[in-house]
């Protein structure tokens, strides 16, 4: 593999492309629709295409620019990011959209070796406002902001 100059980027690019293919394959049964009348498969297929494109860009970058080889698995990040995703999924119904999102984003910031409490709080607040604006205001999704455990719905 003498033509691979940055193994980390090549592996990451291949992983992104593989995930894009998997997600696109999973959405194949869904109706795509049009840009004006999106079906349930439109957005997943669009995101799969974007993920595949980013994967291709990262892969080509790994073939062109020098870099370092993978040094191992960062278990702390892997475990905390997985727990963060699970937390969001399980906390969404009882806590509601914003508390579940906030807890999930904050937990994911703990995965960084450069964790700072103030930075984590700012990132959490910005993500909550951004997701509220996109999903609630922009897309009009009927997500409860607060769940029954916090007096919502």
Confidence band of 48 (pLDDT split at 50, 70, 90): very high
Q: Per-residue pLDDT tens for 63-74?
A: 998 888 888 888
Residues 99-122: what's their mean pLDDT?
A: 96
Comparing 27-31, 76-80, 96-100, the range with the smallest average pLDDT is: 27-31
pTM: 0.71
Q: Closest by alpha carbon to 104, among 91, 94, 93?
A: 91
Whether 79 maps to a domain, the answer reads yes
Question: Could you tell me if 39 and 106 lie in one domain?
Answer: no
Question: Could you tell me if 82 and 143 lie in one domain?
Answer: yes
Separation CA 43–CA 36 (nearest Å): 12
Last residue of a domain, which of 64, 95, 113?
64
Domain total of the chain: 2
Residues 71-99: what's their mean pLDDT?
A: 94
Separation CA 61–CA 4 (nearest Å): 10
Separation CA 105–CA 128 (nearest Å): 9
Whether 70 maps to a domain, the answer reads no
Question: Could you tell me if 98 and 134 lie in one domain?
Answer: yes
Question: With contact defined as beta carbons under 8 Å apart, do 80 and 23 qualify?
Answer: no
Whether 69 maps to a domain, the answer reads no
Question: Could you tell me if 26 and 50 lie in one domain?
Answer: yes
Whether 134 maps to a domain, the answer reads yes
DSSP string, 97-133: HHHHHHHHHHHHHTTSTT--HHHHHHHHHHHHHHHII
Whether 117 maps to a domain, the answer reads yes
Residues 126-138: what's their mean pLDDT?
A: 95
Question: Could you tell me if 89 and 130 lie in one domain?
Answer: yes
Question: Could you tell me if 96 and 145 lie in one domain?
Answer: yes
Whether 1 maps to a domain, the answer reads no
Question: Could you tell me if 81 and 135 lie in one domain?
Answer: yes
Question: Could you tell me if 42 and 88 lie in one domain?
Answer: no
Question: Could you tell me if 91 and 133 lie in one domain?
Answer: yes
Structural domain for 104, as ranges: 75-150
Question: Could you tell me if 80 and 140 lie in one domain?
Answer: yes
Whether 29 maps to a domain, the answer reads yes
User: What is the pLDDT at residue 73?
Assistant: 85
User: What is the pLDDT at residue 2?
Assistant: 66
Question: Could you tell me if 146 and 80 lie in one domain?
Answer: yes
- Alpha-carbon separation of residue 56 from 5, 17, 28, 47, 124 (angstroms): 15, 7, 21, 14, 30
Question: Could you tell me if 143 and 80 lie in one domain?
Answer: yes
């Amino acid at each position: 593999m003498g033509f691979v100059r940055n193994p980390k980027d090549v592996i990451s690019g291949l992983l992104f492309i593989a995930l894009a293919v998997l997600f696109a394959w999973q959405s194949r049964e869904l109706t795509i629709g049009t840009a004006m009348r999106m079906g349930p498969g439109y957005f997943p297929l669009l995101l799969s295409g974007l993920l595949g494109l980013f994967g291709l860009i990262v892969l080509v970058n790994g073939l062109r620019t020098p870099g370092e080889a993978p040094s191992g698995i960062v278990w702390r990040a892997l475990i905390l990011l997985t727990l963060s995703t699970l937390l969001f999924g399980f906390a969404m119904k009882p806590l509601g959209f914003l508390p579940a999102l906030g807890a999930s984003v904050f937990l994911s910031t703990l995965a960084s070796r450069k964790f700072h409490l103030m930075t984590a709080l700012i990132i959490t607040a910005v993500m909550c406002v951004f997701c509220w604006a996109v999903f609630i205001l922009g897309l009009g999704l009927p997500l409860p902001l607060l769940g029954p455990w916090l007096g919502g719905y």
